[in-house]
């Protein structure tokens, strides 16, 4: 059967645990393709160029926009973030589902272009948990943490546009729920090649 891959979008406030959940999902569902974003924000300690992000200059990012090289892009916390289009198209053409960890603005752009995409919102169980996670991560300044908490308020208002809301109380629970969603989405008749399936019955 010739089944094209789907786009699985994971959004949620910074500190909701998107990275951890995505990593665990990719470990357990090895047929998924992870989209690596481009960004103009500086590399954090421990991050690897080409694996966590493609770290690019502002002019390079603007050239990608001008050249239609991005599936979506947004300005988040004053920095550019965007999804390079080519690897996504290639994976989807090969029938692989693509997982993308992007912000709400980007998710809504993808929904406009591909109404069949799956939007999953990952949220912390409470605001205080979010604040604690951001502080424990110790990768951002106090000022940056305040900015991310403020931004989180606006992002939480956008849950209504998503297909699913997963509360990340325990990582294993959240991972199981996201995997269940991906598997359920794969069973939708609209996602399957019904034509060739039904052909087998018509010919009998
Ligand atoms: P961070 O700087 O913490 O890695 O990411 C900041 C925010 O940017 C997160 O909400 C993350 O989901 C979002 N983000 C990462 N990559 C992309 C992307 O390619 N497009 C969009 N629109 N947002 C992204």
Q: Note whether 106 and 74 are within 8 A (CB).
A: yes
Average pLDDT over residues 109-134: 94
| 159 has a pLDDT exceeding 70 | yes
Report the separation in Å between the CA atom of 101 and the middle of ligand 1, taken as the mean of its atom positions.
7
CA distances from 6 to 20, 89, 100 (A): 21, 10, 11
Residue whose structure tokens are 């980007």: 106
Average pLDDT over residues 174-195: 92
| 198 has a pLDDT exceeding 80 | yes
Predicted confidence at residue 2, as pLDDT, reads: 52
Predicted confidence at residue 144, as pLDDT, reads: 87
Predicted confidence at residue 157, as pLDDT, reads: 94
CB of 15 within 6 A of ligand 1: the answer is no
Tens of pLDDT, residue by residue over 56-100, are: 999 999 999 999 999 999 999 889 999 999 999 999 999 999 999
| 43 has a pLDDT exceeding 70 | yes
Burial label, 37 (beta-carbon count in 10 A; 0-12, 13-18, 19+): buried
Q: Which of 18, 36, 37, 133 to mutate to test the pocket of ligand 1 (most atoms within 8 A of CB)?
A: 37
Q: Give me the chain's average pLDDT, please.
A: 93
- Give the nearest ligand 1 atom to 105 CA: 22
- Give the nearest ligand 1 atom to 106 CA: 22
Residue whose structure tokens are 């039904």: 198
Report the separation in Å between the CA atom of 193 and the middle of ligand 1, taken as the mean of its atom positions.
33
Predicted confidence at residue 1, as pLDDT, reads: 47
| 117 has a pLDDT exceeding 90 | yes
By DSSP bridging, strand 164-167 and strand 7-11 are: unpaired
Pick the more confident residue, 3 or 42.
42
CB of 99 within 6 A of ligand 1: the answer is no
Q: How confident is the model at residue 180 (pLDDT cuts 50, 70, 90)?
A: very high
Report the half-sphere exposure of 144 (CA within 13 A, side-chain side).
14
What is the rounded distance in angstroms from the CA atom of residue 92 to the CA atom of residue 113?
14
Average pLDDT over residues 136-141: 82
CB of 147 within 6 A of ligand 1: the answer is no
Report the separation in Å between the CA atom of 188 and the middle of ligand 1, taken as the mean of its atom positions.
29
On whether the pTM is more than 0.85, the answer is yes
User: Tokens in use for 126?
Assistant: 């409470």
CA distances from 137 to 17, 23, 46, 110 (A): 11, 17, 12, 29
DSSP single-letter state for residue 76: E
Give 140-162 as a DSSP string. Answer: S-HHHHHHHHHHHHHHHTTGGGS
- Give the nearest ligand 1 atom to 53 CA: 16
CB of 82 within 6 A of ligand 1: the answer is yes
User: Tokens in use for 113?
Assistant: 């272009």
Q: pLDDT above 70 covers what percent of the chain? A: 98
Tens of pLDDT, residue by residue over 45-58, are: 899 999 999 999 99
SS3 call for 123: strand
CB of 133 within 6 A of ligand 1: the answer is no
Tens of pLDDT, residue by residue over 122-133, are: 999 999 999 998
| 3 has a pLDDT exceeding 70 | no
CB of 123 within 6 A of ligand 1: the answer is no
């Amino acid at each position: 059967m010739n089944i094209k891959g789907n786009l699985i979008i994971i959004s949620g406030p910074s500190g909701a645990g998107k990275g951890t959940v995505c990593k665990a999902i990719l470990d357990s569902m090895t047929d998924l393709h992870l989209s690596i974003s481009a960004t103009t924000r500086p590399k954090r300690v421990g991050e690897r160029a080409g694996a966590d992000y493609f770290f690019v200059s502002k002019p390079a990012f603007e050239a990608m926009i001008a050249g239609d090289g991005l599936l979506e892009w947004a300005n988040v916390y004053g920095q550019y973030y965007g999804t390079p289009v080519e690897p996504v198209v290639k994976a989807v053409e090969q029938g692989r589902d693509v997982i993308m960890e992007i912000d709400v603005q980007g998710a809504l752009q993808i929904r406009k272009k591909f109404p069949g995409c799956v939007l999953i919102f990952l949220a912390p169980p409470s605001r205080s948990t979010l604040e604690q996670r951001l502080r424990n991560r110790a990768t951002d300044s106090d000022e940056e943490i305040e900015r991310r908490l403020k931004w989180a308020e606006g992002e939480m208002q956008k849950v209504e546009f998503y297909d699913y809301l997963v509360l990340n109380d325990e990582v294993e629970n959240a991972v199981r729920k996201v995997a269940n969603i991906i598997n359920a989405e794969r069973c939708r008749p609209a996602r399957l090649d019904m034509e060739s399936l039904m052909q087998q019955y018509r010919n009998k």
